[in-house]
Structure 1
Amino acid sequence: PDKFLLRMLLAMLMGFNSIEFVVSFTSNNLHALPKHASGPKFSCPRRSLFSEHPDSVVNRDIKQRITRSVAHTGAETSRSRSKAAGKPTSVVASIIKTFTSLIHGFLLFLRDVYGQFLVLFMDTLINRPFLNILNKVDIVNHKGLTDYIHKRPKGVPLITVSNHCSSLDEPLLFSALIPWPIKQWQLRYSLCNDDMFYSLGEVFAQLFFFASRGIPIWRSRSMNQPTFKLFCGKAAKGGWCHIFPEGRIWQPWKLRQEGRVLGPLRPGVGKLIAHCEASPPVVLPFHHSGMHRVLPQYPGSRRQSLPPKTGNTIRIRVGQPIQVQDLIDAAAEGRRLARAQAGATDPLESTPADEALYAAITLRVEAALTALAQEVWQDAPHELET
């Protein structure tokens, strides 16, 4: 009994506090206890506690278990100390991250509130009076657009495409197209060339263009420039994005010179649509005429005649949605393999397979816009007169 009790005490003192071990230890040594034990006698030296006995193999097993337990307990203690040492740092980092996120969200909220005020101010006092009093606006199939603005399911991207006739196409056309009052969070995202975007400096760009959901674009750079990726990301998340796929102003006199009804489209529109993979996008075309008389461009030059002219009729024809999902689905596997082979990690970085899809989508958009333009050129050529 003295050896049994001493072994139990030593095991507990050495940190082997597993109940499972104590139960196993007791059951294996129970036969060594006499019916009337006289109490423990601590007379044997410590090193003899684990000496082998010819009649028992339990001692060796106990020794191995205690050795493993001591090693395990030491490792756990080291890990606990490491966690304790790193805990304050991780807590501070978490607090800083949360605080930064809250500040960022609050600033975005303020920008949206300011943007709402700016849009209502500009739309109510400037854009709408200019369009509806000093000029006239006629919209064909207006409901086809407003239903998609307000009633499309959450998360479904809306991408509108149109011809580009003047520097005032944006925002004047959208003051006419979007039902009043305009809600800032329902506004479209649009692109603005960097020369105009930053013409009055960074502060003005933030207060005016960014607040009204404008995004700068550098025409000399590729489709992989960060701001165009940002634009594509807005659409992919279910936002409304408008793009002028011609990429520059094409007034009727210029189109006549080149025997066209629409300027050549750039593949950026294909990229914008192709990366709406989470939900099939609604791609809605419209064609407008009359803005070339509001802000005419000098023949042979890109300069436009200021101030804007009055007494004109602006006509907007909204078409039917362009079906592109079949192209996206057909190219999905090839795009996935191309990305894997290239080791691409940025989902908005273009591969050759992506560029092939962009080209196919761009051709389909061009066909839809050309059909709308031909209706005007054939049925209402007077709308295109200078």
Structure 2
Amino acid sequence: MGRIMEWAARGNHLGGLPRKMVIMAVGAFAKAVVALNTTSVHNANTLIRLVRSRPPGVPLITVSNHMSTLDDPLLWGFKGFPVFDANLARWVLAAEDICFKNVLLSYFFRLGKCIPITRGAGIYQEHMNEALERLSDGAWLHTFPEGKVFQEDSPIRRLKWGTASLIVRSPVKPIVLPIVHHGFQEVMPENKFFGRRPPFPLCSKRINITVGEPIEFDLPKLKQMAISMTRDLSSPTTDLPSSSPYGLDETAKRCLYTTISGRLQTAMEHLRTFGKGFLKM
């Protein structure tokens, strides 16, 4: 299967004007919604610094929990964030069945730097290669590794392997930054009106965004550990190819992705616990 409307996602499409218009319009929407709610952001400067001035050519992967269909773009609507700059704007993995239902939606979300992902199609689907190309360009990519919206106030769930695979396979080692938020589930609840989402975001809610510190992954060491741990084991899977450019067999790759996902989950859960302390004030 080819890439959906990839031409619309290119920065030079019609001179870049449609992208700039969409990014500015969505940014204004995010700013307005966040301003109509009580929003607190902890450690915002770390995120802003990495978006604006990380080393040239070094990609940034941000990961967060997923509490509503509006987490992106509302996450970036807080005061001081450069939400109107199309060059600095994140790329984001977006569910194909929600954001790419028809031609009009596909065009809009492509202009908004969204990469369609088919849930259940595995971590080696074609659009994951597109995400790797953006990382190769040194871009910023945001992911929701829980894989779907969860509006319950509960611990971070077991993460899907997609983000871990991007960290491992990225042509340039990325900076990995965890973010955890709370409150967007009240701004856009899933079952507010007769079992459906409200037609517009709600206001006068309390939003809390907690930005962590970059997580360091010693990938050579982690790969070697995965090989050692699985040397005498065999666990075939239909999702992972039999050959690997990283010197790992199927079982070792599963172990490596599980280890990285576990570290991400732990870091996100620590942020969630930390952020809950501010909600009680």
Tell whether the 8 Å contact from 2:93 to 2:143 is kept in structure 1 after alignment: yes
Q: Once the two structures are superposed, what CA deviation does each residue of 1:58-78 show, in whole Å capped at 9, x if it has no partner? A: xxxxxxxxxxxxxxxxxxxxx
Conserved? CA contact 1:191–1:243, under 8 Å? yes
Tell me if structure 2 keeps the 8 A contact 1:328–1:357.
no
Report the CA distance between 1:316 and its aligned residue.
0.7
2:253 aligns with 354
Which of 281, 284, 294 aligns to 2:177? It is: 284
Task: Tell me the equivalent position of 2:77.
Answer: 175
Aligned equivalent of 1:204: 105
Deviation at 1:350, TM superposition (A): 8.7
Q: How far apart are the structure 1 equivalents of 2:262 and 2:189?
A: 29
* Matched-pair contact (CA < 8 Å) for 1:327–1:360: no
Query: d(CA) in 1 for partners of 2:64 and 2:10?
Result: 35
Contact 1:111 1:211 in 2 (8 A): no
Q: Are the equivalent residues in 2 in contact too, given 1:284–1:319 (CA < 8 A)?
A: yes
The answer (yes or no) to whether the contact 1:293–1:309 under 8 Å persists in 2 is: yes
Q: Deviations over 1:40-75 (max 9, x none)?
A: xxxxxxxxxxxxxxxxxxxxxxxxxxxxxxxxxxxx
What is the alpha-carbon distance in structure 1 between the residues aligned to residue 268 and residue 178 of structure 2?
A: 6
2:34 aligned partner: 131
Q: Does 1:229 align with 2:122?
A: no
What residue identity is the alignment partner of 1:137? Answer: T
DSSP-derived class of the 1:297 partner: coil
2:164 aligned with 1:270: yes
Instruction: Provide the secondary structure at the position in 2 that maps to 1:185.
Output: coil
Query: What is the rounded CA distance, in whole Å, between the counterparts of 2:185 and 2:191 in structure 1?
Result: 10
TM-score where L is the length of structure 1: 0.60
Change (3 A) 1:329 1:141: same
Matches within 5 A, 1:117-156: 117-124=21-28, 126-132=29-35, 134-156=36-58
Hey, what's the Cα distance between the residues in 2 that align with 1:281 and 1:250? 27
Contact 2:210 / 2:275 at 8 angstroms: preserved in 1?
Answer: no
Q: Distance in 1 between matches of 2:280 and 2:195?
A: 23
* Equivalent runs, 1:1-386 vs 2, <5 Å: 108-110=12-14, 112-124=16-28, 126-132=29-35, 134-176=36-78, 179-180=81-82, 182-199=84-101, 201-206=102-107, 208-253=108-153, 255=154, 261-278=155-172, 280-298=173-191, 303-324=196-217, 326-331=218-223, 351-377=250-276, 379-380=277-278, 382=280
Q: 1:140 to 1:275 in 2, by over 3 A?
A: same
- Distance in 1 of aligned mates of 2:62 and 2:274: 19
Q: How far apart in 2 are the matches of 1:266 and 1:182?
A: 31
- Which amino acid is 1:353 matched to? A
1:174 aligns to what SS in structure 2?
A: coil
CA–CA separation in structure 2 for the residues paired with 1:350 and 1:111: 44
RMSD: 3.2
Offset, 1:195: 1.7
Q: Deviations over 1:160-212 (max 9, x none)?
A: 0111100000111123377236221211111111121223x123312x10011
Percent of aligned pairs with the same amino acid: 27
Unpaired stretches in structure 2, ≥5 consecutive residues:
1-6, 232-240
Report which of the two structures shows the higher radius of gyration computed on alpha carbons. 1
Gaps of 5+ in 1: 1-102, 256-260
The answer to whether the 8 A contact 1:334-1:353 is kept is yes
Paired position in structure 1 for 2:235: none
1:235 positional shift: 1.8
| SS of equivalent to 2:12 | helix
- 8 Å contact kept, 2:226–2:256: no
The AA in structure 2 aligned to 1:139 is V
Q: For residues 328 and 164 of structure 1, what CA distance do their matches in structure 2 show?
A: 30
| Alpha-carbon spacing, 1:285–1:111, altered in 2? closer, same or farther (3 Å) | farther
**Which one-letter code corresponds to 1:215 in the other structure?**
I
Code of the residue aligned with 2:259 in structure 1: it is: A
Q: What is the number of residues matched between the two proteins?
A: 261
Q: SS at the partner of 2:68?
A: coil
Give the whole-Å Cα distance in 2 for the aligned partners of 1:376 and 1:120: 29
